[in-house]
Each structure stands twice: as structure tokens, then as C-alpha cells.
A and B are shown apart, each in its own frame.
Chain A
Amino acid sequence: MTAAVRVASGPDVVKGAIRASRRRQRIRLLTRVLILVSFLGIWEIVGRSTSRLFLVPFSESLLATFDPDLLRAWGTSLQAFVIGYGLACILGVAVGLLMGRFRLAEWSLNPYLTILLTAPMVALIPVFIIIFGFTLAARAAIVFSFSFVYVAINAFAGSKAVPRELVEMSDSFGLTEWQRFRWIVVRSAAPLIMTGLRLGFGRATIGMLLSEMLLLAVGIGGRLIESSNRFDMAGVLGIVLMLLAFSWIGGSAIEAADHRINRWQRRRR
């Protein structure tokens, strides 16, 4: 955000405005850090002064994450995540753009995507287990089914967001279908595609955890259930911390890519 600079009496006013803007930015950052620190502080204090069965302090939860077994569990989980979410990204974008390009694809697929968007995907978990057994394929399929629709529907919306005048321009200058698709449709759709990837990431994480917690008892979700059954509060909270970090890292990475690709759009604001 930029400060509203009202140049009334020369550079001094401008300098003052810049300083004020920087100060506001510092205050914002400081407040954020303060909220985090006080939250962790309260957690620490309450944890130390209550029963270990109720709450374990932050420091102990953090220590519980230093466990090589947990790393292996993450490895198992991430295999399913990478395959499932990766396929959802590729196929979701492809299906969404295809629906944007072909009316027949739009008319035939759109109602189903809309249903799937609100359908409780959890109900599908047993189905996948029956089909694939207790395998990596089953978990990847669950991750995929949780995230695919979000990616596809946003890619579709994005490909519909091409301004009419650009389509007309591309016709006038004799661009081929394929040129228009590469140079105009994909670029216009990019901001919404990135939104879809972000929403899909969160959904894929849920899918990964649920598949492991509900039925398969492997990976990081399996460890979460295990720790909980042993009343190992530090273990549970440690995994929660790691999951938060995972979402945060993934989300930030997608956001950074979004800013990079769609620079032209961000700077307009």
C-alpha cells in the first residue's frame, strides 16, 4: 500500500509522508509478531501450570517434532500428496481450460463439477479403499479427489474471463486458435488458475490427513491418531505445528509464484 502523498510545500512534505508510511508498515509488522509471541507465551504459561493431559507447553510440543520417525511419516504422506495434488493440478487446469474452449465440454461437465464442489468427498474414502486397497494409490486418489474440482472450476472460470475485445483483436490480426490459446487465454486465466491451486492445496492437505486418520493409519495422520491414543499431548501438538508450517510454506510458495506470474495484475492496484 502506498501513502496518500499530498505535495503541498515541496520535498519536506514528501519525505514526511514517506516516513509516516514506513512507520505504519513497521507498526503493522510489529503487531503481527506481537500477536504470535503473546499467543505462544500464553500457551507456554498455561501449559506449564496445568495437567499434562490437558495442555503441554509450546516448548515441549516443538521439541516433540524432532523425531526421525516423524520425518519418515512425512515421507509416506508426501508421496501420496505429491502424486494426488500434482495430478489434480495438471488435470484440473487441463479440464478447466478444455471446458473454456469447447462448449460441449462446458455443457456436459459443468453441472457435475458444481455438484462435486459441494459434495462431501469424505464419503468417497471407503470407495477408494475398496478399489485400491490399503495402498499408496488409494491415498493419492483421495488427495486427488479432494483437490481436483477446485483447480478445475477455477481454471474454467479463468478461461471464461478473457475480455471480448482481446478475442476480437486476435481475430482481426489473424491469430490461430492455438496462438490465441497460448498468448491470450492462458495468460488471462492465470490469476484464477493460481487461486485454484491455492484452494486445491488446502483441500489436498485435508484429503491426505483424512485418508490416513480415518482408515489407513499411516503417514503423518496415522502418527497423529497414534499419539492421541497414547494421550501424548506433546506429540499431537507437535504434529499440528508441523501441519501449520506445511500449509504456510505451501501457501506462500504458491502466492509467490502467483505474484511473479501475474505481476502485471498486482501492480495495477
Chain B
Amino acid sequence: MITVDGLSKWFVREGGRDGVSVLHVLDNIDLTIKDHEFVCIIGPSGCGKTTMLKMIDGLVPVEGDAIRVDDVPVHGPGPDRAMVFQNFALLPWRDAISNVELPLEARRVPPAERADRAREALRLVGLNKFERHLPHELSGGMQQRVGLARALATQPRHLLMDEPFGALDEQTRRILQDDLIRVWEQLRQTVVFVTHSMDEAVYLADRVVIMSPRPGRIAEIVPIDLERPRDDLTRRSPRFIQLVEHVWERLRELNVVDAVEVAG
């Protein structure tokens, strides 16, 4: 279980009029994510959704115990969580399997077990035939599969995904969404998935968290009552379209200030 309780975040940077500039990123966020739940976080650019995800991972410092994972306050990354990055973050000089093995190597998992687990993870994401390929020999979608396999190989309880399909084209994106759901239905980690695609959020999630522009607040949490397993029929169902429209309405309301500024 991931508990976010009264989380606020300010970034203080050197520079600016008074020698420092302060950016209020997150404001008093409360959110509880149950085990095995798939939650998507959506919001306008700069609303702090990625910052919140990185705080859950422990990459961005958290004051006090505003974030708890399985009742333990987060003060840094841990083996119970694994991140999938927007820009894949693969080592270009390591082939697919060595990239997947990296976190296991860091944890001193013995080589044989390491290779087994990496191979198993690559098989899960459908890349078993590409073990020995370097990242630049793989397409963007395949590279992100490696990124996903790397996270899965660490056998995390919670999977944190930062706009993982944002850099991919629409066709690839849809295929990866389906594959992610398939993997998740087998393994059932908790997934926190940051996205700016409304279709993607509704298609994947049990609940969609809509955030307001900076400072980020939770504007609404939309339960997604679409049946699983989901497939192309889901995308065409009236309920799906209705939910996407609902999310869009809310986001548009939140962006009203922005729209006026552009018009003026």
C-alpha cells in the first residue's frame, strides 16, 4: 500500500531576485493506493505529477513521513519499488539482457540466478529473441520493453511508471499498453502510472487521479468501472468514451486560466 498524506513540495533554486527562487510544486496531496491497484495520474504539464512519482520512488527528497510505502516512510529508493523511465534510461553499451541484469548485479544476485531472472523478465515482455541486441539496434517500443523488463526483474511490489509510452508513436503505444495490462494481470503489482494521455489513463487504470496545474492538487479521482480483461472492444464501448470525455471536461476546466492567457 502506498499512502500519500498531506504531501507538499517546494523547490528552492539559487538565482532570481532575492538570490533564490521558490517554486510551489505540490500542495497538500492525500492519496491512498491499495495493493494490486493500477492508478493513473494525469494532469497538465508542470502539475507536479512526475515529481510526486519520483518522491514515491525516493528520487526526490520527502520531508517527514508524508509518503509511506507499506507503512514505512520513504526516504530514498528501495528494492520494493522499481521505476520505468520516460526516456528508457538504458545503458547504450550493454545489450538487452545485461541492461535487465543491472539492478540485480547491483544487489549482488549470483550470476546464474541473475541471468535466469533477466531472461524470464525479457520473455514476459516478448523480447526473448533479442537478448543480445544493443539498445540502438532495437526500436523505441522494444527499448521500453527492456526498460519494463529491467523493472520487473527486480520483482518489485510496486511499479512506478513515468510517462513510459510518451516517447512512442500511437501504434506502438497501444500495443505496449495491451502488453503491460497482460503482464500486470499475471503479476499484479501495484502500478502508479503517470501519463498525459487521457485514453491511456482510462484504458489502463482502476482509478484515474486528475491533478490541477501548479501547485499540484488532486482535482478529482475517477473510478474506472470498465471490465477486465480490456481490449479493443473496451476502447469502442460507450462507457470508455464517456469516461475519457469526463476526464477531458475536468482537465479543460482546470486549464481555463491557461486558455484565457493565450486568448489575451
Q: Which chain A residues have a beta carbon within 8 Å of chain B's beta carbons?
A: 165-166, 168-169, 171-176, 179, 183-184, 187, 262-265, 267-268
Closest 6 CB pairs of A and B: A173-B103, A169-B89, A264-B93, A165-B89, A172-B83, A175-B106
B136-162: contact bitstring with A at CB < 8 Å (1 yes, 0 no)?
A: 100000000000001000100000000
6 A-B pairs in the complex with CB atoms less than 8 angstroms apart: A165-B85, A165-B87, A173-B83, A174-B77, A174-B106, A264-B134
Q: With A and B bound together, what is the CA distance between A157 and B245 in angstroms?
A: 50
- Tell me which of B85, B89, B136, B150 contacts A267 (CB under 8 A): B136
Q: Contact at A168–B59, with CB atoms within 8 Å?
A: yes
Residues of A within 8 A of B82 (CB): 172-173
Q: Contact at A176–B136, with CB atoms within 8 Å?
A: no
B72-105: contact bitstring with A at CB < 8 Å (1 yes, 0 no)?
A: 0000011100110101010111000000001101
Residues of B within 8 A of A176 (CB): 106
Which residue of chain A lies nearest to B57 when distances are taken between CB atoms in the complex? A172
- Tell me which of B85, B87, B107, B134 contacts A174 (CB under 8 A): B107
Q: Contact at B106–A173, with CB atoms within 8 Å?
A: yes
Chain A interface main SS type: helix
Residues of B within 8 A of A268 (CB): 92, 136
The smallest C-beta distance from B108 to any residue of chain A, in angstroms, reads 10
Which residue of chain B lies nearest to A167 when distances are taken between CB atoms in the complex? B89
Residues of A within 8 A of B105 (CB): 179, 183
Which residue of chain B lies nearest to A174 when distances are taken between CB atoms in the complex? B77
Q: Contact at A187–B93, with CB atoms within 8 Å?
A: yes
Q: Contact at B77–A172, with CB atoms within 8 Å?
A: yes
The smallest C-beta distance from A191 to any residue of chain B, in angstroms, reads 10
- Tell me which of B78, B91, B107 contacts A187 (CB under 8 A): B91
